[in-house]
Structure 1
């Protein structure tokens, strides 16, 4: 299947030099090397149970607007529940790849996603975009863009499409500063089982050129220096030419200043 990248906001161009980080444990890094593909998990399998679901503030605002239009209460409730049902329907059929948009590595994210067992892949939007070969398994349109963070209990604005809902997260996750790839499985074979999700793929797979994608691999600052050699050796065995280094964020300052 051929995939196409689509912006969530065509009026706002993502800069090519936007630095993106993907924190991985070592097994997932090996899977990236072996599959030569980025795997997007189903939104319903992600940690945040509110992925893709409209916030309570937006739901209340929609109900107030419907009441202002003179709609009957039972109709307002039915429409709200239909929207909620569709949100959960698409959670099972939407796939998300999460990157972190920071100019440098982040000590907090090391702690959360792989402090004692992880690596991080550094890329840029240009490198990520150009790495895709155009081949995918279960998705066609892949949307990209930054995530916005809101106090969803108070925020009365709501996304216009179910795709947009996956680019909004609760303010409690603002520390992630996410940039996402989001794709929907629109296959008739996968989308019309309603509540039966047993046949749905666990991942959507986007083939990519790893040497184009990976600009650098960093080893967790809490792992021994020998791990760098191991990761570099594994990278070379899979044909990777990217540099590998251990994070230096906890390297102590010199105890003597030698500059004049």
Structure 2
């Protein structure tokens, strides 16, 4: 279930376009399971994920001098938070294709902020929050810690190209242990507005995706990326 947290920054326009770039196997897993995979926050490639900037860490260290469990709680909390990353952009991104898809056999899900919110309503066991990532200088700038989600909504400025918005699930109150990640129920037809096929893919690959999607009972609009369209001269 999506929960609105007013302290978390999010684009106000529900029609704001978001993207998820992934390979075919992950896409098929999404359709077959009708569940969205969310990665455990401390399993991301960025070792700073879910941690604090230097000014904030120094502040927390002072607060934890008489209460060491205070700092330990934040460290352990990363194991209880799972994240699904999406890219905010009105248009598809050449950089995202390069980073998040292998070879030429990838695709992109186009959705919106409003669709993300609505598609999460069928998940009843865990609550989800959606927030836009803030990009800051970790050596100079402060990350608030009056909300447990804030460490997961700040990243270093070197990741600013990601333009990321995140679905966050916190199972801190649950006895469930997350290994690599967590799957949550999601309304696939609400989530997906359109599918784009990798710009360098062959026609057979596009036809394969169309056929697989149809056989699984879905009727999405599927288009070849126009980043490789013919030059007009």
Name the TM-score, length of structure 2 as normaliser.
Answer: 0.89
- What's the counterpart of residue 40 of structure 2? 42
Q: State the distance in 1 between where 2:226 and 2:58 align.
A: 48
Matches within 5 A, 1:239-258: 239-255=217-233
Larger Rg: 1 or 2? 1
What 5-or-longer segments of structure 1 have no aligned partner?
A: 67-74, 191-198, 256-260
How far, CA to CA, are the matches of 2:229 and 2:55 in structure 1? 45
- Alignment length (residue pairs): 232
| Map of 2:147 onto structure 1 | 161
Residues in 1 aligned to 2:224 and 2:52: alpha-carbon distance in whole angstroms: 40
Aligned partners of 2:59, 2:154: CA distance in 1, in Å?
17
Q: Does 1:235 align with 2:213?
A: yes
TM-score normalized with structure 1 length: 0.81
Contact 2:2 / 2:117 at 8 angstroms: preserved in 1? no
**For residue 32 of structure 1, what is the aligned residue in structure 2?**
30
Secondary structure of the 1:189 match is coil
Q: How does 1:1-260 map to 2 (within 5 A)?
A: 3-9=1-7, 14-61=12-59, 77=65, 82-114=69-101, 116=103, 117-137=105-125, 139=126, 141-190=127-176, 199-255=177-233
Which whole-Å CA distance do the structure 2 matches of 1:53 and 1:46 have between them?
12
Corresponding residue of 1:195 = none
* Unaligned residue ranges in structure 2 (runs of 5+): none
Residue by residue, what CA displacement relative to the aligned partner does 1:25-57 show, whole Å, maximum 9, x if unpaired? 111001011011212111111111111111113
